Copies of this chain bind each other. A is one copy, B any other.
């Protein structure tokens, strides 16, 4: 609806994606959602198109196309009624390896991630008692000879049962430390139990009992795991914002289409300001969130601090998408609840983004300079 000023690279992404998105339309995603399955076919098509290497240097088999391409990609997938979560994960999780991994780690794994050979879909960070506080883990990594012995209990780990690689956070003597866990090499010492969620995130809890890992599985210096991980957060927030914007635009597209064609009482429902105004308010906020997202990427390009602003982009986008879902329910009435119309699915997927208190704290601190307790 709105003019979007994309550089040609991003325009190309949209054009290139078109056929895939047409092939895997909303009904494909409705079925994945209903069956709680991993969208393997779609995932492979996107991977074969080369997008998984978006953040991977060419030396390791990637395209190094950068965050704008990734942002367009996940937005477009969601805008077409899909769910970009798995693609987002495969593109972005590996950035920690790109930035902090050893050359041997990169050589071994990144080419496979860039192609569709190796799924690298998750970080095992959250713990039952940690909440979002990753600085106080009860999972431990103890040095043992020239390796490590890891004990961990993790929860809400997305795609855990569908990935080969994951990044594992554990507390070593030096502090939080990252490890690359190759599940092809793990045995029954790694246990998973599925956690059923409102959106199809294929989440599990994860228990690791005295697993030995070689020191070569460590990513970055011991004790600097959190710092390493946090370097990826700006891009992660931009991509989460992009997913939310894609969802919101799908909801807007559908709602506007419905409002322009559906009649009650002998007139199009879209003539009613009671339908129009919630859509307009939502639309205005989506457009604003969209600009903020690109603005963050400009800051990144210029090497400026984008941390607080990336938090703003995420907050604006998730709020805008939530408001859009509500406006869509108003537009569709009872049909908004029916899975055939995809509104309810996008509403459910939108729940993933709407708890942002930690980001609110970050903005208060970093953007406004308000005091902390």
Q: Which residues of A contact B (CB under 8 A)?
A: 1-3, 5, 34, 126, 129-133, 136, 155-156, 195-199, 201, 203, 252, 256, 259-260, 262-277, 279-281, 283-285, 287-289, 291-292, 295, 298-299, 304-305, 308-309, 312, 315-316, 322, 326, 329-330, 332-340, 344, 347-348, 351-352, 354-355, 357, 360-361, 363-364, 367-373
Contact = CB atoms under 8 A, between A and B. Distances in A.
Contact of A368 (B274, B280, B285, B326): B280
A259 to B, nearest CB: 6
Given A197-B344, A273-B273, A339-B198, A371 B132 contact: no
A303 to B, nearest CB: 12
Contacts of A370: 256, 259-260, 270-271, 275-276, 279
A295 B291 contact: yes
B263 A357 contact: no
B132 A196 contact: no
A333 B131 contact: yes
A284 B363 contact: yes
A279 B363 CA distance: 10
B260 A369 contact: yes
B2 A309 contact: yes
B355 A329 contact: yes
A195 to B, nearest CB: 5
A371 B260 contact: yes
A351 B347 CA distance: 10
A284 B312 contact: yes
A155 to B, nearest CB: 8
Nearest to A333: B355
26 contacts: A1-B367, A2-B308, A3-B299, A3-B305, A156-B338, A196-B338, A197-B338, A198-B347, A201-B337, A252-B368, A270-B371, A272-B273, A273-B273, A273-B274, A273-B364, A274-B276, A274-B357, A276-B364, A277-B360, A279-B364, A283-B363, A283-B368, A288-B292, A333-B355, A337-B351, A344-B348
A363 B265 contact: no
A364 B315 contact: no
A3 B280 contact: no
Contact of A291 (B195, B288, B367): B288
A38 to B, nearest CB: 18
B130 A304 contact: no
A364 B292 contact: no
A340 B203 CA distance: 13
Contact of A344 (B266, B326, B351): B351
Going nearest first, the 7 A-B pairs with the smallest beta carbon separation are A131-B264, A288-B288, A198-B344, A273-B273, A291-B291, A273-B274, A276-B364
A326 B340 contact: no
A305 B136 CA distance: 42
A6 to B, nearest CB: 13
Contacts of A34: 196
Nearest to A315: B284
A334 B262 contact: no
Contacts of A329: 351, 354-355
Contacts of A2: 308-309, 367
A291 B299 CA distance: 13
Contacts of A338: 156, 195-198, 203
